[in-house]
Amino acid sequence: MGRRRKKGRPVNGWLVLDKPYDVGSTEAVGRLRWLFDANKAGHAGTLDPLATGILPIAFGEATKTVPFVQDGLKRYRFTARWGEATATDDAEGAVTATSDQRPSREAIEAILPDFIGEIEQVPPAFSAIKVDGERAYDLARDGEKVELEARMITVHEFVLVDMPDEDHAVFEAVTGKGTYVRALVRDIARELGTQGHVSALRRTAVGPFTEDMAVTIEDLTGKDFAADVHRDTLDQTDLDSFLEPVESGLADLPSAAITGADAGRLRSGQPAIVPPPVAKGIRGDRAGEIEAVLAMHHDEAIAICRLDGLKLQPVRVFQTGE
């Protein structure tokens, strides 16, 4: 038997969604997939329901580039609420501990360098990490004690932006993959001799995707997320105009311009040969294989390749039908 054909349109590209408050990432992807009538969709990096901001959603062939976007840097702006720890390390959970201690600006700024660079972090119990095949947050919600192992993360920037009152401090941070902002606030509060949780969180960038590129549900439908929308009243061509191209998630990769004949070879799984000057330009000072190179024919992404000598070996091939 042949494979069952997926329902929906063959939509290809990225939608940079400005996710609203109190909407889960999976729920947002489902809604956008339905709105676009897309046959395939996914997202690059979970954003908690109580957080807002950049949730890149990949459609069709763009889903092949999701790992590269997930590995990109993420920028956050968030507010710490001092004096109260919660079960979830954000405003959703019940208060589990309190403190009368309130840190000064000087105390906060003095310890921030300890939280920059490669550091160990224990993820929150309420997280999507799997424990014996189960999500940690499912176990925690069932009342089980969840103990997660510390792991190394990277924080590239961490600055104090504002202190509107003694109970709150506003920060901005740039982090690597796998960093939990909720855990950062939990740990910095403890280091300051108090308790704390995240009371507001907004993600302002994921890899190459920024707020300048973001669109809201209202931009797409004229209504908020909770409103009923009849898909047949929407202009699919107009919706598609909000999409970023498949290769927009690969802005950090070196690229190689190839011929139409080479594009055909790569799409059939065969290697393409690039001229020595092109290979040298891609390689720069690096020796050995280059694991990820974007092969482009004019303005169309053809494949993500491995450069081995002068050979572009296809790793992920895009079939956009263009």
User: From the candidates 48, 90, 187, 262, which is the catalytic residue?
Assistant: 48
Residue 127 confidence (pLDDT) = 64
CA distances for 297 relative to 25, 255, 259, 264, 301, angstroms: 34, 10, 6, 10, 7
List beta partners, residue 160. 171
CB-based burial of residue 16 (10 Å sphere; 0-12 exposed, 13-18 middle, 19+ buried)?
buried
List beta partners, residue 95. 86
Residue 4 confidence (pLDDT) = 57
Instruction: State the Cα–Cα distance between residues 52 and 21, nearest whole angstrom.
Output: 5
pLDDT per residue rounded down to tens, the chain (322 residues): 455 556 889 999 999 999 999 999 999 999 999 999 999 999 998 898 899 999 999 999 999 999 999 999 999 999 999 999 999 999 989 999 999 999 999 999 999 999 999 999 988 876 666 666 767 666 667 566 767 788 999 999 999 999 999 999 999 999 999 999 999 999 999 999 999 999 999 999 999 999 999 999 999 999 888 888 888 888 888 999 999 999 999 998 999 999 999 999 999 999 999 999 989 888 888 877 889 999 999 989 999 999 999 999 999 999 876 4
Query: Where do you find CATH 3.30.2350.10 in the chain?
Result: 74-206
Residue 8 confidence (pLDDT) = 86
CB-based burial of residue 39 (10 Å sphere; 0-12 exposed, 13-18 middle, 19+ buried)?
middle
Instruction: State the Cα–Cα distance between residues 270 and 257, nearest whole angstrom.
Output: 17
Residue 1 confidence (pLDDT) = 46
Whether 182 and 90 have beta carbons less than 8 Å apart is answered as yes
Domain 253-317 has CATH 2.30.130.60: yes
- Signed CA dihedral, 81, 84, 87, 93: sign only: negative
Query: Where do you find CATH 2.30.130.60 in the chain?
Result: 253-317
Sequence-ordered strand ranges (E) for 104-259: 117-121, 130-131, 134-135, 151-165, 168-175, 196-206, 209-210, 255-257
In CATH terms, 74-206 corresponds, of 1.25.40.80, 3.40.50.2300, 3.30.2350.10, 3.90.1170.50, to 3.30.2350.10
Enter the pTM of the model: 0.90
Q: Is 48 a catalytic residue?
A: yes
